Amino acid sequence: MATDMLKPELPEEEAALLEVRNLKKYFPIKTGFGKKVVLKAVDDVSFAIKKGETLGIVGESGCGKTTLGRAILRLEEPTGGDVLFNGESILNKKMGEYRKKMQIVFQDPYASLDPRKTVADTIGEAMDIHKLYANKAERQEKILELMKLVGLNRDFYNRFPHEFSGGQRQRIGIARALSVNPDFIVCDEPVSALDVSIQAQIINMLEELQETEKLTYLFIAHNLAVVKHISDRVGVMYLGHLVELTTSNELYQHPAHPYTEMLLSAIPVADPDLSAAKERIILEGDIPSPMYPPSGCPFRTRCPRATEKCKESMPLLKEIAPGHFAACHNI
């Protein structure tokens, strides 16, 4: 396959819905004795997501996945770079319309729902803000439709989040995201707080909704099996950097970056006795503090292939095969 076959003049359905260019999110951190350090949670990340596509993002805890998702939606204001939605930069603009087009489903369905709001008011909140109904009857009808769409019994309408299980709460969170009829949803580990038995139901529902509601997803997960299943392409993050990006099949069959190899060798075996929290991947070697990253390649302190050059300069993401990108000096 020639590279240029993938390039210009993409048909409408192939066009990028979302483009992230050199995105950065830095947090100033005060350490002891009045010193300040910059924590580069997301550093120079670039990719595009096509309409209808699911791009998975994986990496260990603290590598910047949530910050990436939040910076794209400007829930955290990016420090640098650009985010384009339908070809237009959304930075330095009023988010009004984009708040409808771009939504998020949060990792923790316990913390992300207001305990004082009923199911109806949780789902209806964004519709209220954006005035998406003509009268109360229409509001109720729309909320009930959304509840049906995500498999929630209509009797739950006036009930409160604490009455529900994690899976049902996540359905409420998904209905809330869908309420404004978005095109793009950041799914930030939407099932990792749920029982393994419930995870598949929610994943299947998200897949069905993608078809029926014509959605594009950025799907963040630590469970590689889940990402593989749901994603068309997968990006691997390490210490704020995107270190590999390719199709889901290619990543699992021909991982190129030493970190991806390490992640894949650590796929957790499905064990119904393990709680979701225990399922997190545990890898050899400590992740360096993002406040004090190593010189050169961020992965060099744990990399079995590291050489002198890896200390000296940061490897840039390069295309190593058509559509397959990796950031490593030794590939």
- Interface map 245-274 toward ligand SF4 (x if CB under 6 A): ------------xx----------------
Question: Is residue 300 a contact residue for ligand SF4 (CB under 6 A)?
Answer: yes
> Closest Cα partner for 237 from 56, 87, 114, 74?
56
52 or 296: whose CB is closer to ligand SF4?
A: 296
Per CB under 6 A, 328 contacts ligand SF4: yes
DSSP state of 152: -
Binds ligand ATP (CB under 6 A): choice among 56, 64, 166, 182 = 64
User: How many residues contact ligand SF4, by CB under 6 A?
Assistant: 13
CB of 68 to ligand SF4, least distance (A): 20
Sole residue written with tokens 């985010």: 83
Q: Give the C-alpha separation, 266 to 278, whole Å.
A: 13
Residue closer to ligand ATP by CB (options 59, 255) is: 59
Q: Which of 306, 317, 324, 325 binds ligand SF4 (CB under 6 A)?
A: 306
- Minimal distance, residue 300 CB to ligand SF4, in Å: 4
Edge-to-edge strand order for the sheet containing 102-105?
A: 102-105, 184-188, 216-220, 54-58, 233-238, 241-247, 324-326, 318-321
Binder to ligand ATP among 176, 222, 241, 329 (CB under 6 A)? 222
Given a contact cutoff of 8 angstroms between Cβ atoms, the answer to whether 101 and 85 are in contact is yes
Within positions 40 to 69, which residues make up the interface with Mg ion, using CB under 5 A?
65-66
Q: C-beta of 16: minimal distance to ligand SF4 in Å?
A: 28
Q: Which secondary-structure segment (H or E) carries 279?
A: none
DSSP string, 105-118: E-S-TTTSS-TTS-
Closest distance between ligand SF4 and the C-beta of residue 306, in Å? 4
Interaction with ligand ATP in 118-177: which residues (CB under 6 A)? none
| Of positions 45, 63, 202, 263, contacts ligand ATP by CB under 6 A | 63
Rounded Cα–Cα distance for residues 23 and 78 (Å): 7
The least distance separating ligand SF4 from the CB of residue 245, rounded to whole angstroms, comes to 15
Angle formed by the axes of helices 166-178 and 119-129, nearest 10°: 20
Instruction: Name the nearest CA neighbour of 23 among 86, 100, 83, 89.
Output: 83
